[in-house]
Chains A and B, each alone.
Chain A
């Protein structure tokens, strides 16, 4: 049963925010691909040893791959986990799926959208015309088909999906829990409305009046149970207008992950996750102000923006 979250002041620190995620939760991670992933929260989740998670969502990359590499995931119902043509497949995700450590429940975007919509509308299921006839049917014995009583057409029925937690990173939020997302929202609004609670990190906590000045609220406060201000909280993914995607760091990540589970533990998890006490230490470890100022300088002009991508050669 969904509820409303009405606490007047929801500001907490990052460890407290993440501590509300329980082992075994169904977790919807916000953002998409190389943009606005709640990476600081994910690193904190791993430090706290929260595991057995079932992750659900659309097109993801380093967020889900890192969770898999740290052994925090037991099942995945994402529609895509990879690094596109930038660096290719997601090495930890692939290893975890192939070893059986993670149960593969792959889904597709519109199917997930319809499942979230059912939860949002308080319905047990939603119909969808597509996906019948594909091999996804064998991964999802819970799907049913029915004959439409109005048209006689066969339809697929997919059950409501209400994640335990939507873990989001937004540009702005206020103490009450209102969130403002700028740029593509991906599935964040659906996640927020379908989930039992939203845990959000934000780049800047501002007043409710300031949110209105910035252009208004994207996710109303009563879906949200806790907010933590975490600057550069999406690094190494982008969180415009504050900073662009850190491609060199992502390349370093991907090389470590591609070298095997032990190499990943030694070359990435140790220095950037387990071996840093907090987010501030992480930011120093990835290059500190020199790197962060450069990523924040994307809007100077197109040449500066272009140079942010050009300095890491693509994987062969």
Chain B
């Protein structure tokens, strides 16, 4: 893999992919939805480094452990099924989550709020509401899956021509497509008897967050080029800050090499704003456990 030896730094997209990959635990069944190239790549990185025994279920095709030759810009394509050991049908995929076998799922939103609820259905209310594409099976999975990683590459918000800012990270979603640590009307997961534990990480283009025991979002990590003020300025409410805010670990050359080989068309950059595609960082020391990498 020549790309691996050539990598001397990494992009924001690659750093986000590595951070997403680190949320995956080996030996668990992990699923990504459609339209999630950063997550698709993160799952393949995890499978080829620290999580060789994860059950990788591809979004849209429901192929199990595929080895795609390259990433395509749409999710339901035979390219992405290449080498799959087997495939699930739609009812089996969701049954796995409902019965407690799905270890992790990834969800995003045009709004993500302080309790990890996400909205991909409708912005605003009434006549002025904007229709969003919808959430697929995310709603069901947000209740059922053992753990959820949230992500967005659009945390930074700029004012529109009228000077308004449509924040991505908000106090409360206009429509709760996917539940977080609270329901749409504020009830807890425990009160609802959901099977899953809800989101445990949020990875954005500005920082890394976890959720405290009471379900609230908390900043725990930053990129080399972002600050706490960047996060506060681009968040619609004041998020909690961890006592120690650590640098987000950067991927090593092997991880970057896997990403570049799998994504020759840079499909994952479609998720990033144009100005963020130029952000580059020094490679990290081997970010994933060396022993695990050696067995991949």
Q: A90-B133, A128-B98, A184-B87 are in contact. Are A134 and B178 (CB under 8 A)?
A: yes
Contact between chains at B134 and A130 (CB < 8 Å): no
Question: Is residue B83 contacting chain A, with contact meaning CB distance below 8 A?
Answer: no
CA distance A85 to B178 in the complex (A): 20
Q: Is there an interface contact between B143 and A131, defined as CB atoms closer than 8 Å?
A: yes
Question: In this assembly, does B6 line the interface, its C-beta being within 8 Å of a C-beta of chain A?
Answer: no
Contact residue among A61, A113, A132, A154 (Cβ-Cβ distance under 8 Å from B90): A113
Distance, CA A82 to CA B37, complexed state (A): 15
A310 lies within 8 A of B265 (CB) = yes
Contact yes or no, B131 A316, CB < 8 A: no
User: In the bound complex, do residue B140 and residue A80 qualify as a contact, i.e. CB atoms below 8 Å apart?
Assistant: no
B35 in contact with A129 (CB, 8 Å):
no
- Give the contacts of B102-157 with A (CB-CB under 8 A): 121-122, 129-144
A238 and B77: CB pair below 8 A? yes
Q: Considering the chains assembled together, what is the distance between the CA atoms of A135 and B134 in angstroms?
A: 12
Does any Cβ of A come within 8 Å of B176's Cβ? yes
Q: Which residues of B contact A128 (CB under 8 A)?
A: 98, 140
The complex places the Cα of A84 from the Cα of B122 at a distance, in Å, of: 16
Chain B interface extent, by class? 35 or more
Residues of A within 8 A of B69 (CB): 302, 305-306
B142: chain A residues within 8 A (beta carbon): 130, 134
| CB pair B76 A184 closer than 8 Å | yes
Stretch at the interface among A1-9, A20-28, A32-40, A200-208: A32-40
Assuming the contacts A35-B76, A109-B94, A306-B264, asked whether A136 and B139 have C-beta atoms less than 8 A apart, the reply is yes
Interface residue? A98 (CB, 8 A): yes
Contacts of B141 in A (CB 8 A): 110, 130
Question: In the complex, are the beta carbons of A79 and B136 less than 8 A apart?
Answer: yes
Cβ contact within 8 Å between A190 and B194: no
A238 touches B78 (CB 8 A): yes
Interface pick from B181-189, B212-220, B239-247: B181-189
Hey, what's the 0/1 contact readout for B63-80 against A, CB within 8 Å counting as 1?
A: 100000110111111110
Asked if A268 lies at the interface with its beta carbon under 8 angstroms from chain B, I say: no
Judged by a CB distance under 8 angstroms, whether A314 is at the interface is yes
Tell me the bound Cα distance from A100 to B140 in angstroms: 27
Cβ A94 vs Cβ B135 within 8 A: no
Determine if A135 and B77 form an interchain contact, defined as CB atoms under 8 angstroms apart. no
Pick the interface stretch among B19-27, B221-229, B266-274: B266-274
Contact B136 A80 (CB under 8 A): yes
Q: Do B73 and A130 have beta carbons less than 8 Å apart? A: no
A80: chain B residues within 8 A (beta carbon): 34, 133-136
Residue among A34, A111, A133 making CB contact with B183, cutoff 8 Å: A133
Q: Mark B7-47, 1 if CB is under 8 A from A, else 0.
A: 00000000000000000000000000011010000000000
Closest to B92 in A: A113
- CB-defined contacts of B183 to chain A, threshold 8 Å: 132-134
Q: Does A245 contact B (CB under 8 A)?
A: yes
Does B167 sit at the interface, judged by CB under 8 A?
Answer: no
Query: Would you call A82 and B177 a contact (CB within 8 A)?
Result: no
Indicate which residue in B60, B131, B185, B192 contacts A33 across the interface (CB closer than 8 Å).
B60
Decide: A133 and B76 in contact? CB cutoff 8 A.
no
List chain A positions with a Cβ less than 8 A from chain B.
32-35, 58-59, 61, 78-86, 89-90, 93-94, 97-98, 104, 106, 108-111, 113, 117, 128-137, 153-154, 183-187, 189-190, 238, 240-241, 244-245, 247, 302, 305-306, 309-310, 314, 316
What 4 pairs between A and B have smallest CB-CB spacing? A133-B183, A109-B137, A82-B133, A130-B143
Known contacts A130-B194, A316-B274; 17 additional CB pairs below 8 A are A80-B135, A82-B134, A84-B75, A86-B74, A89-B132, A94-B131, A106-B121, A108-B135, A108-B137, A110-B137, A129-B98, A130-B140, A134-B142, A134-B176, A184-B81, A245-B72, A314-B73
List 24 contacting pairs A-B, 8 Å CB cutoff, sorted by A.
A32-B60, A32-B76, A33-B76, A34-B77, A61-B74, A85-B37, A89-B133, A93-B133, A106-B135, A108-B135, A108-B139, A109-B90, A109-B137, A128-B140, A133-B143, A134-B178, A135-B173, A135-B177, A136-B177, A187-B90, A306-B264, A314-B73, A314-B270, A316-B274
